[in-house]
Each structure stands twice: as C-alpha cells, then as structure tokens.
C-alpha cells in the first residue's frame, strides 16, 4: 500500500533560495528542499486538507429547518469555507458541517420548449412532476443532454 504524503500550505512568503515559497503554496515530501524546513512552525506552515467543495460550487445549506442554495465564495486549505446565499448572507462552514450538501441538479424541457434547470431538494418541488419527468425521459443530468434531446425531438 502506498503512503499518501502529508501536504502543508505555506502561510507566509518565504524567500527561500533557490526556490522561493509563496503564501498559499502547497508542498509535500516531494519538495526538493523539504529537509531544510521546519514544518512544525505554525507561523509558516499549516497542514493542508484537500477541499471537498470548490470555489463557485452550489451547496444546499439548512439552518432552522430552512434550506437555501449557497455558493462557495472562499476555500482554505484547512477544510474551511465561506458560502453566500442569493441575498448576500455569509456563512462559515467546514468539511464536517452536517447540514450542507450539493444539490441534485437536473435539466428538463418545459412545456414551452425551453431547457430549464431545477434541483430535487427545492422547497415545494412537485414530486409527482419530478417522477413523471424521470419516467418519460425528460430528466437530464447535464444541460448538454437536454439540448441534444430537444434537437432530437425537433428533428423527428
């Protein structure tokens, strides 16, 4: 079994020669001069945790039994994120925050022939309509698939 190297994020610029390190750089044991660094110095290094959410990603965040769509506005290498909803409210979350999950996005062709987007967890979604979309083949995981199907239907 291969051992996964521990990664560290550089917290401050280090004018290291011949390879300077900049704030935000991620290093591990493959850095050729790692033996000259004191990785236990918390002023300069912090253990890096691979983020599970990405900048700009949509997330559903539930607070006080109210679920809203938020966008990830900042990602740090220690498993912390800032998310913002449509009205501008900011919330700080971590990898371990329980009431956060990516929405199950889908696309469909509405009754006017327009490609529409929705998510399964939306408040007040019509579950019968959602099931009908799935049964009839009007439920797509990508916008491109919905567009292709619309073109196929028009060409028939």
Over the chain, what is the mean pLDDT?
Answer: 90
Task: Extract the tokens encoding 34.
Answer: 């790692």
Is the confidence at residue 2, as pLDDT, over 70?
no
- Measured CA to CA, the distance from residue 31 to residue 14 in angstroms comes to 14
Q: In which residue are the tokens 């559903």 written?
A: 60
Architecture of domain 58-101: Roll (2.30)
Q: Give the pLDDT confidence of 120-149 residue by residue, as tens digits.
A: 988 789 999 999 999 999 999 999 999 999
Determine if the pTM surpasses 0.85.
no
Q: Where are the domains of the chain?
A: 1-48, 58-101, 105-155
Q: Give the pLDDT confidence of 93-110 residue by residue, as tens digits.
A: 998 999 999 999 999 999
Q: Is 155 left (phi over 0), alpha (psi -120 to 50) or beta?
A: alpha
- Measured CA to CA, the distance from residue 24 to residue 77 in angstroms comes to 8
DSSP characters over 20-78: -B-TT-EE-TTSTTGGGS-TT-TTTEEE-B--SS-TT-EEEEEETTEEEEEEEEEE-TB
Report the Cα 106 to chain-centroid distance in Å. Answer: 17
């Amino acid at each position: 079994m291969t051992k996964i190297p521990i990664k560290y994020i550089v917290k401050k610029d280090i004018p290291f020669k011949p390879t300077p390190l900049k704030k935000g750089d991620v290093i591990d044991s493959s850095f050729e001069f790692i033996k000259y660094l004191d990785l236990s110095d918390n002023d300069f290094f912090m253990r890096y945790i691979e983020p599970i959410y990405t900048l700009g990603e949509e997330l559903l965040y539930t607070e006080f039994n109210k679920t809203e769509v938020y966008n990830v506005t900042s990602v740090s290498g220690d498993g912390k994120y800032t998310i913002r909803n449509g009205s501008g409210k900011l919330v700080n979350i971590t990898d371990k925050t329980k009431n956060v999950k990516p929405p199950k996005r889908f696309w469909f062709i509405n009754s006017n022939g327009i490609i529409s987007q929705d998510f399964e967890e939306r408040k007040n979604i019509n579950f019968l309509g959602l099931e009908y979309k799935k049964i009839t083949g009007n439920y797509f995981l990508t916008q491109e698939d919905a567009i292709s199907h619309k073109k196929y239907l028009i060409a028939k």
